[in-house]
Chain A
Amino acid sequence: MSKQVRQRERVIIRFAGDSGDGMQLTGDRFTSETAEFGNDLSTLPDFPAEIRAPAGTLPGVSAFQLHFADHDVRTPGDRPDVLVAMNPAALKANLQDLPAGGDVIVNTDEFTPRALSKVGYDANPLEDGSLDAYQVHSIPLTSLTVKALESFEITRKDAERAKNMFALGLLSWLYHRPVDSTLAFLERKFAKTPELAKANVAAFNAGWSFGETTEAFTVRYEVKPAAMTSGLYRNITGNTALAYGLIAASVRSGLPLFLGSYPITPASDILHELAKHKRFGVRTFQAEDEIAGIGAALGAAFGGALGVTTTSGPGIDLKSETVGLAVSLELPLLVVDVQRAGPSTGMPTKAEQSDLLLAMFGRHGEAPVPIVAASSPADCFDAAVEAARIAVKYRTPVFLMSDAYLANGSEPWLLPDVDALPDLRVDFATAPNHEKDDGTPEFWPYLRDPATLARPWAVPGTPGLEHRIGGIEKADGSGNISYDPGNHEMMVRLRQAKIDGIAQDIAPLEVDDPTGEAEVLVLGWGSTYGPIGAAVAAVRAEGGHVAQAHLRHLNPMPANTGEVVTRYRRVLVPEMNLGQLSMLIRARYLVDAIPFTRVRGLPFKSDELADAIKDVIEHERA
């Protein structure tokens, strides 16, 4: 049967099922096929913190959303065009996001009276007309898969588990995806159990063939490849990109990478990734707690390593005292905060940007720390390199901010030319830098470089430079213990001036204002970059004028930030918190920044953001 083929500019698919249904894997594979095909894309995995919540329940639903298009994609999409629901719980948890007319593909085998009542359905929604507004494709995915695998010597349970590959096969057919990488992946994944490998391949092929033959689908879709800069690409998640960025910083600086970390969602994957790369000299230390993680990283930094600790908000709380010590010791240290919804345990797998002020101020005493934030999954690579550059050059701890959305989300990444990455080589101190009154040479650990105000980094093993440093206030220059009031005043101001001075060494804040007619500036930081960009594009498409700027550096902010935020009549600051950046902008530049805040644990929807921008524009016009 030949099917009609329709063109689509963009499609958003959400795979949803039980935590054990393999939805993340299914989403990952569809993403790889899509990337290989050449669409631009963005993904959003959305899964519970529980490893296996009770089967068939609403808390156990795991979802993966993918947005792909023939043009530049900035977000995982607001609302799916297609919902794949593997059970009643997945349908119930996700249906409200589906616009009328959307496609729903359901696994009818799971719509039993018991499963329906478990999630509070009084009647079967497939039969009671409640889905009339949607294009429902009722398919017995489980039984079709089991039937297709009858000839294989595998258990019924294994056959049932292959239903996600059947679904993937069907969706791959529906959207003309290339399948070779998935077939190769299945061979690799089940290399130790060839019968399972063959069965999963068969399930995938059965799903594809089902699409060809069934009357449930009369149309196939095509989404043409997007026009992208030429080069070599891969798809990458934020956590992997961040780990690679750290390795790149190690290679480019010549400093061995030392990670001290304690497992925590959603940061643990950075630890897992780095632990694989020992051939780069990477040492990963899974510490007894968060405090030991950063302590060990700081100890390694004293010895000349690129010291890194990775965590999420609760871990930052615990590390604060050691960050303060690093400020006092003036040693390079990277503190990676993959933010999640708080306070306290909050929602460990959900994103938020509510640690900005914690990174900014969460220490006793005057303890300034530079802050660098990543704006997209692939940008985590560049942000890590930049954070390392500042840490190493200025001998300071640096916060590198990511979040749960960036960590697990993915996008195509144009691979950088490694030789063009910044040169981060360090000049360690090798000789005395001062003379005693009698002319004897000596080493002063706090004699600063006049340009950067950074102190010399003298590592153990260097003869003649033996010195002691600590958390007690130090005399300017010599570094000896000092309780002198004037010295303390000077040291507090020197440490602040060193961090403030970094503003001269970072790129100015760029403003995207194509017509130059905008009166409203949208200012963001971190993972809101995609949604803000999509919203700004939507406003402009309707003829609106709006400018966009995005901060990579939150402390210090670029030197021209004050000029930028005072150039526009209104500054709108969308944030996934209750207005932390807008508070900083107001305090620093006396600008009446308007916060637009959401704390749902999910990225902004670009249409609600577009509405907010239009409201401000309207208000200005009125």
Chain B
Amino acid sequence: MSVPEQRTGLSLVPVADTKGTKKEYTSDQEVRWCPGCGDYAILAAVQSFLPELGLRRENIVCISGIGCAARFPYYLNTYGIHSIHGRAPAIATGLATSRPDLSVWVIGGDGDFMSIGGNHLIHALRRNVNLKLLLFNNRIYGLTKGQYSPTSPAGMLTKSTPYGSVDHPFNPVSLALGAEATFVARTIDSDRKHLTETLRMAAEHRGAAFVEILQNCDIFNDGAFDVLKKPETRDTHVVRLQHGKPVTFGANAERGVRLTGRGGLEVVDTAKVAQDTLLVHDVAHTEPAIAFMLSRLGNVDDGVTPIGVFRAVERETYDDQVQAQVDHAVTNDGPGDLAALLASGDTWTISS
């Protein structure tokens, strides 16, 4: 009953005769985000990137919850559902499990995925449903006009926390790794190339692919990720994870990361340590422990933020296994016979 190996996330999705264009993937609906919102950059990247997958557009479905990010499906000329706050991963699970021929994308904000729908997210990840889950993390509630979110830093002043938030935030990458997601990545709205690369790897991954996109809300949390974007600070704060390469950062890779021997990571000057003591990034490590440590590195304000793929491992997907059980039953027992089913068990005949 095992599922064939070497399937990618797109293996069962029909291929288009000709590649589509960004224009074809753009719906006729007027985009209604605030001017300057990071969502525009993500939308443009996705509209350009999806056609490159070469899939039949009608076999792509985008499902969202509620929030600013959740308007996303309206602007993509594919099939789509704008659903209920937090529930998009559950709805998408039903669709993906019943339709293996679809490429299903789930869009949510930090309210959708980290708060009201946290349960659905972790279960979709643990089951490894073949879904691409994009978290637009702006660390604020935008559509409800400026309350703190489960990813807002402690102490943050917002409309609902005039004395500062006393909530300890979630680190979405840590959470996803804790749920044993098979693909976990982080990227930034303004880094088009990195964003597109990351989405492509997510699309090809067979199973649940979780991508945290750090996204600017220029109205309620403007500049939240500036330190990762500005030329004068980004090199010293962004750690670009690359599979098979030592984990280093800085304009000339002058800083690096290594295991401490006490079960942790430390940042070191690469000039002062032997090169072979640096941590070599391995996305395919069966255990998520080192990826988890990397996800804990610093934070945006006073430390470093790793971006890229934290983890990409193979594990059978929920939907493939469900399909395999159905196929197995049909092959072994034959297709169902309704009359025979109804007459199963103890029966008796009454004749007049």
Please state if B334 and A295 are interface contacts (CB–CB under 8 Å): no
Please state if A299 and B94 are interface contacts (CB–CB under 8 Å): yes
Count how many pairs of residues, one from A and one from B, have CB atoms less than 8 Å apart in the complex.
212
Please state if B351 and A230 are interface contacts (CB–CB under 8 Å): yes
**A313 within 8 A of partner (CB):** no
Other-chain residue from A244, A280, A299, A418 in contact with B91 (beta carbon distance below 8 A): A299
Please state if A232 and B336 are interface contacts (CB–CB under 8 Å): no
Given A295-B90, A329-B81, verify A279-B330 contact (CB < 8 Å): yes
Q: Which residue of A lies closest to B75 (CB)?
A: A468
Please state if B349 and A32 are interface contacts (CB–CB under 8 Å): no
Most buried by A among B63, B74, B338, B347: B338
Please state if A35 and B346 are interface contacts (CB–CB under 8 Å): yes
Please state if B335 and A302 are interface contacts (CB–CB under 8 Å): no
Please state if B94 and A251 are interface contacts (CB–CB under 8 Å): no
Q: Which residue of A lies closest to B327 (CB)?
A: A278
Please state if B119 and A460 are interface contacts (CB–CB under 8 Å): no
Q: Which of B317-340 contact A (CB under 8 A)?
A: 322, 325-326, 328-330, 333-336, 338-339
The CA of A416 and the CA of B342, in the complex, are separated in Å by 8
A 223-255 binary contact with B (CB < 8 Å = 1; else 0) = 000001111111100000000100110010000
Given A285-B93, A299-B91, A300-B95, verify A278-B329 contact (CB < 8 Å): yes
**A103 within 8 A of partner (CB):** no
Please state if B84 and A321 are interface contacts (CB–CB under 8 Å): yes
Q: Which residue of A lies closest to B326 (CB)?
A: A278
Given A38-B348, A289-B119, A469-B81, verify A283-B343 contact (CB < 8 Å): no
**B152 within 8 A of partner (CB):** no
**B194 within 8 A of partner (CB):** no
Q: Which of B16-70 contact A (CB under 8 A)?
A: 27, 29, 56-61, 63, 66
- Name the A residues within 8 Å of B266 (CB-CB): none
Please state if B99 and A461 are interface contacts (CB–CB under 8 Å): yes
- Name the A residues within 8 Å of B352 (CB-CB): 229-230
Please state if A296 and B81 are interface contacts (CB–CB under 8 Å): no
**A120 within 8 A of partner (CB):** no
Q: Identify which of A169-177, A191-199, A303-311, A584-592 touches chain B.
A: A303-311
Q: Which of B76-129 contact A (CB under 8 A)?
A: 76-84, 87, 90-99, 101-102, 119-120, 123
Please state if A468 and B90 are interface contacts (CB–CB under 8 Å): no
- Name the B residues within 8 Å of A325 (CB-CB): 83-84
Other-chain residue from B14, B63, B336 in contact with A280 (beta carbon distance below 8 A): B336
A 461-505 binary contact with B (CB < 8 Å = 1; else 0) = 111111111111000000011000000000000000000000000
**A538 within 8 A of partner (CB):** no
Given A248-B338, A304-B99, verify A281-B82 contact (CB < 8 Å): no
B interface, over-half SS: mixed
Given A289-B119, A322-B84, A460-B99, verify A233-B350 contact (CB < 8 Å): yes
A 387-431 binary contact with B (CB < 8 Å = 1; else 0) = 000000000000000000000000000011010000000000000
- Name the A residues within 8 Å of B251 (CB-CB): none
Please state if A251 and B336 are interface contacts (CB–CB under 8 Å): yes
Q: Which residue of A lies closest to B328 (CB)?
A: A278
A 301-333 binary contact with B (CB < 8 Å = 1; else 0) = 111110100000000000001100100010000
Q: Which residue of A lies closest to B319 (CB)?
A: A283
Q: Chain B's nearest CB lies how many Å from the CB of A209?
A: 24
The CA of A282 and the CA of B336, in the complex, are separated in Å by 10
**A36 within 8 A of partner (CB):** yes
A interface, over-half SS: mixed
- Name the B residues within 8 Å of A301 (CB-CB): 94
Please state if B101 and A468 are interface contacts (CB–CB under 8 Å): no
Please state if A302 and B81 are interface contacts (CB–CB under 8 Å): yes
**A435 within 8 A of partner (CB):** no
- Name the A residues within 8 Å of B333 (CB-CB): 279
Interface size classification for chain B: 35 or more
Q: Which of A22-39 contact B (CB under 8 A)?
A: 32, 35-36, 38
Q: Chain B's nearest CB lies how many Å from the CB of A363?
A: 12
**B345 within 8 A of partner (CB):** yes
**B341 within 8 A of partner (CB):** yes
Q: Chain B's nearest CB lies how many Å from the CB of A272?
A: 15
**A523 within 8 A of partner (CB):** no
**B288 within 8 A of partner (CB):** no
**B246 within 8 A of partner (CB):** no
The CA of A285 and the CA of B129, in the complex, are separated in Å by 12
Please state if A233 and B74 are interface contacts (CB–CB under 8 Å): no
Please state if A36 and B346 are interface contacts (CB–CB under 8 Å): yes
Please state if B81 and A295 are interface contacts (CB–CB under 8 Å): no
The CA of A251 and the CA of B78, in the complex, are separated in Å by 30
Q: Which residue of B lies closest to A416 (CB)?
A: B342
Q: Which residue of A lies closest to B333 (CB)?
A: A279
The CA of A469 and the CA of B80, in the complex, are separated in Å by 6
The CA of A321 and the CA of B99, in the complex, are separated in Å by 24
The CA of A298 and the CA of B322, in the complex, are separated in Å by 18
The CA of A38 and the CA of B91, in the complex, are separated in Å by 47
Other-chain residue from B74, B99, B334, B343 in contact with A279 (beta carbon distance below 8 A): B334
- Name the B residues within 8 Å of A302 (CB-CB): 61, 79, 81, 91, 95
Please state if A303 and B102 are interface contacts (CB–CB under 8 Å): yes
- Name the A residues within 8 Å of B87 (CB-CB): 291-292, 295, 321-322
Q: Which residue of B lies closest to A288 (CB)?
A: B123
Q: Which residue of A lies closest to B330 (CB)?
A: A279
- Name the B residues within 8 Å of A285 (CB-CB): 93-94, 97, 322
- Name the A residues within 8 Å of B328 (CB-CB): 278
**A334 within 8 A of partner (CB):** no
By a beta-carbon cutoff of 8 Å, the part of chain B in contact with chain A is: 14, 27, 29, 56-61, 63, 66, 73-74, 76-84, 87, 90-99, 101-102, 119-120, 123, 322, 325-326, 328-330, 333-336, 338-339, 341-352
Besides A234-B344, A248-B338, A460-B102, 9 more A-B contacts (Cβ < 8 Å) are: A231-B350, A258-B94, A280-B336, A281-B326, A281-B330, A292-B123, A295-B84, A300-B94, A469-B81
- A-B CB proximity, top 6 nearest: A470-B82, A296-B94, A299-B94, A295-B90, A280-B336, A292-B90
